[in-house]
Amino acid sequence: MSDSAPKARIKRLSDYVSPVWFVPLLAALIGLWMLFHTLAQRGPEVTLTIQNADGIEAGTRIRARSVEVGQVESVELSDDASHAVMRARMTPDAARLLGEDAQFWVVKPRIGRDGISGLGTVLSGAYIELQPDTSGEGDRDEFRVLDQPPVAPSDAAGLRIRLDSTNGNALSVGDPVVFQGYTVGRVEASNFDAEKRVVHYDLYIFSNYTSLVTANTHFWVTSGVNFDITSEGVNLNVGSLETLISGGVTFDVAEGVDPGQPVEDGAAFDLFSNEEQASLGSYNQYLEYVLLLDDSIRGLSAGAPVEYRGVRVGTVETLPWRINRLADNHLSGFRIPVLIRIEPQRLQPVVTEEDLQRMRQTFGRMIDNGMRASLATANLVTGALYIDLDFVGSEDDDTTQVANFEGKPVFPSTQSGFGQVTGKVSALLDKVNQLDIESTITNLNATLDSSNALVQQLNTTTEGLNQLLNDPAMRSLPGDVQSSLQAIEHTLQGFDPQAPAYRDLRATIQQLDQLLRSLQPAARTISDKPNSLIFNRGQIDDPQPRARQ
């Protein structure tokens, strides 16, 4: 029975699988390999946000140092339509460049303070420039495209510092940082802290000038043209052409102040509105006093100098200062409080706390000896005032001063010279008001009436004199006088010593003199005895003196 059992038929696989099926299988394998190779060769995808996608479209190239490292794949609006969002594919080699410090910006034709840039994109079109992160740790995939090219690469050698300002947006990105007229840096970035209401500026100082920024450096805004009217007169400062166009920031160390040590990256400084405010900021050791002034403070401003006999020793800080607290301090009258600062650093560069205490004691002794503060005119044209410290006499001293006002010591004050003159004029006017003006005016009116009558008489006399002068006889009088003078002159010529008439007259006078001398005895006799011409004269006794009646 085993011989009759059927045998199984064996067929080869080649009988069921056709060689044609290997073609699509090979194609699928090749496709998978190509897909894997493509995915392996693709770089990372990054998201770029930009305020305005002007000139950017799909296919726009991304370059780093003129080498293409990516391409924009799509450009679309954000969900809130406030900005544009770009999807870009980077090359595999560019992945290591996308670190935290990487920056993107659009390169296109620009006209700026440094001239015209990006002219090469007029024909080729705009592209996106990448400033790579050189740390080699690239794992960031979202970036914000800058509106302007960065001032310097993040890894550039130099110094980066921060300025804090309460003066608003006084600077812009790219504005110059100037030291004594030379551009030594740029403003890199600015941002506003709404909570603290402070503007922060990031500054980049070129590597060659980092040693200029020291601990005691002060920064202030340069507006190109600075016109200011102060108590010392009119100040006009003109900066460089670049700052004249766009402004900038200037820094320096105050005169007589130790510069200190160079600072490191990240150092923070205050930004002042002008050079005067920056100079005041360097005097960080000072004494505060309050002046209670009776005079008008019109013309006195914050920043006005406080001087002692022409030497500046301080500054007016605030005016009026807490004027609403006068009643709370039980002050009689109405005085205007002014807060001033005595700044010893104007006289010596280094001042310690011990020096401040000694200075306060010194001023206390000077006040006891009669030092007082008063307003003085600094400029007659502008009417600007300043505070003058000097010693006054006891008659000008105000004995109603208080010791403290709102927790600060009061510096005694006196009226200014103009105020004293005004007071004396007022006293004089009071005395004038006490005079009997009405009776004086009555007498003055009577005097004026008499003067009017006299003037009328003078007018009448003048008219008579005019008639007399206009008389023809008076007109011929000068000719008659001239003829008389000529006759007199002719007569006088006859009395010349050499003239015969003069000699005859002189001889006659001599004979007459002799005759008179000879007649003197006879005249004396007749005077003593009149009848002597008839009778003999006889003996004449000497005259006897008579007794006094």
Q: Is 186 helix (H, G, I), strand (E, B) or coil?
A: strand
Half-sphere exposure of 300 (CA within 13 A, CB side): 26
In a domain, 27, yes or no: no
Write out the residue range of the structural domain in which residue 102 sits: 41-146
Average pLDDT over residues 306-322: 85
| Residue 422 maps to a domain | no
Which whole number is the average pLDDT over 126-146?
Answer: 80
Please tell me whether residue 373 adopts helix, strand or coil conformation.
strand
| Residues 272, 212 within the same domain | yes
Same domain, 413 and 291: yes
Q: Are residues 490 and 458 in the same domain?
A: no
What number of other Cβ atoms are within 10 A of residue 384's Cβ?
18
Mark whether 296 and 406 lie in a shared domain. Answer: yes
Structure tokens belonging to residue 12: 């080869």
- Do residues 214 and 333 both lie within one domain? no
Asked whether residue 429 is assigned to any structural domain, the reply reads no
Q: Where are the beta strands (DSSP E) in 51-151?
A: 61-64, 67-77, 84-90, 103-107, 110-112, 115-117, 127-131, 142-146
Domain boundary among 234, 263, 280: 280
* Backbone phi and psi for residue 318, each to the nearest 5 degrees, phi listed first: -145, 140
Rounded to whole angstroms, the Cα distance separating 522 from 533 reads: 9
Q: How far is CA 472 from the centre of its chain?
A: 80
The reported pLDDT for the residue numbered 1 is 47
Phi-psi domain of 111 (left: phi exceeds 0; alpha: psi -120 through 50; beta: other): beta
Distance CA 180, CA 240 (A): 10
Residues 306 and 392 in one domain: yes
Lowest mean pLDDT among 136-145, 182-191, 517-526: 517-526
**Given this model, what pLDDT does residue 125 score?**
78
pLDDT at residue 190, rounded to an integer: 85
User: Looking at the predicted structure, is the pLDDT value of residue 527 above 70?
Assistant: no
Contact status, residue 304 vs residue 295, Cβ threshold 8 Å: no
Is 19 contained in some domain? no
pLDDT tens for residues 333-378? 577 888 988 888 788 777 778 888 888 888 888 888 888 888 888 8
Nearest in space to 218 (alpha carbons), one of 293, 162, 283, 272: 272
Q: How far apart are CA 104 and CA 142, in angstroms?
A: 11
Q: Which of 90, 112, 146 is the last residue of a domain?
A: 146
Q: What does the pLDDT read at residue 352?
A: 78
- Rounded to the nearest 10°, the torsion over CA 315, 316, 318, 319 is 180
Would residue 31 count as lying in a domain?
no
Between residues 442 and 529, the one the model is more confident about: 442
pLDDT of 42: 72
Predicted confidence at residue 532, as pLDDT, reads 60
Question: Quick check: 342 and 289 in contact, CB under 8 A?
Answer: yes
Query: Are 338 and 241 within one domain?
Result: no
> Treating both helix axes as pointing N-terminal to C-terminal, what angle do 472-493 and 437-470 enclose, rounded to 10 degrees?
70
- CA–CA gap between residue 543 and residue 549 (Å, rounded): 18
Q: Which residue has the higher pLDDT, 26 or 224?
A: 26
Mapped onto helix, strand or coil, the DSSP state of residue 411 is coil
Does residue 222 form part of some domain? yes
* Residue 233, in any domain of the structure: yes
Same domain, 405 and 317: yes
Task: Classify residue 362 as exposed, middle or buried by CB count within 10 Å of its CB (0-12, 13-18, 19+).
Answer: exposed
Tell me which residue of 362, 375, 370, 373 sits closest to 287, measured CA to CA.
362
Quote the tokens at residue 106.
């659009």
Three-state DSSP at 211 gives helix
Mean pLDDT of 394-423: 68
The tokens of 298 are what? 């019109």
Count of residues for the chain?
A: 549
Higher pLDDT among residues 269 and 472, named by residue: 269
Q: Are 270 and 220 part of one and the same domain?
A: yes
Kindly state whether residues 166 and 75 are assigned to the same domain.
no
Distance from C-alpha of 68 to C-alpha of 90, rounded to nearest angstrom: 9
- Could you read off the pLDDT of 70-121 as tens digits, one per residue? 888 888 988 888 889 999 888 888 888 888 878 888 888 776 655 566 666 6
Residue burial 479-515, b: 16+ Cβ < 10 Å; e: rest: eeeeeeeeeeeeeeeeeeeeeeeeeeeeeeeeeeeee
What is the spatial distance between Cα 169 and Cα 273, in angstroms, rounded to a whole number? Answer: 11
Other beta carbons within 10 Å of 118: 16
What span, in angstroms and rounded, lies between the C-alpha atoms of 109 and 272?
35
Which pTM value belongs to this model?
0.54
Q: How many domains does the chain have?
A: 5
Q: What is the mean pLDDT of residues 301-319?
A: 85
pLDDT surpassing 70 at residue 421: no
Residue 462 DSSP SS3: helix
Are 76 and 84 in contact, with CB atoms under 8 Å apart? Answer: yes
CA distance 400 to 324: 20
Distances (CA, A) of 178 to 164, 181, 222, 251: 17, 6, 9, 7
460 and 495 assigned to the same domain? no
CA distance 500 to 395: 91
pLDDT band per the 50, 70, 90 thresholds, residue 299? confident
Residue 380 pLDDT more than 80? no
In a domain, 7, yes or no: no
Instruction: Measure the CA–CA gap between 516 and 71, rounded to whole angstroms.
Output: 157
What lies within 8 Å, CB to CB, of 128 at 6+ separation is 48, 56, 60, 61, 62, 63, 72, 88, 104, 105, 106, 107, 145
* Domain boundary pick from 86, 116, 146: 146
Closest CA to 161 of 105, 218, 221, 241: 218
Sheet holding 385-391, edge to edge: 287-293, 336-342, 311-318, 305-308, 385-391, 371-377
Q: Are residues 389 and 486 in the same domain?
A: no
Pairwise CA distance, residues 81 & 246, whole Å = 32
pLDDT, residue 16, reads 55
Mean pLDDT of the chain: 76
Q: Is the pLDDT of residue 419 over 70?
A: no
pLDDT value at 6 more than 80? no
Task: Give pLDDT, residue 225.
Answer: 58
Which range has the worst mean pLDDT, 146-155, 215-224, 237-246, 399-408? 237-246
User: Tell me: the pLDDT tens digits for 317-332?
Assistant: 888 887 776 665 555 5
Report angle CA 100, 103, 104 to the nearest 5 degrees: 140
Percent of the chain at pLDDT exceeding 70: 71
User: Phi, psi (5° rounding) for residue 319?
Assistant: -155, 140
Number of alpha carbons in the 13 Å side-chain half-sphere of residue 313: 17
Half-sphere exposure in the Cβ direction for 97 (13 Å, CA): 22
pLDDT confidence of residue 234: 58
Separation CA 217–CA 211 (nearest Å): 11
pLDDT given at position 283? 77
Q: Are strands 67-77 and 61-64 parallel, antiparallel or unpaired?
A: antiparallel
The answer, yes or no, to whether residue 193 has pLDDT greater than 80, is yes
pLDDT at 541 over 60: no
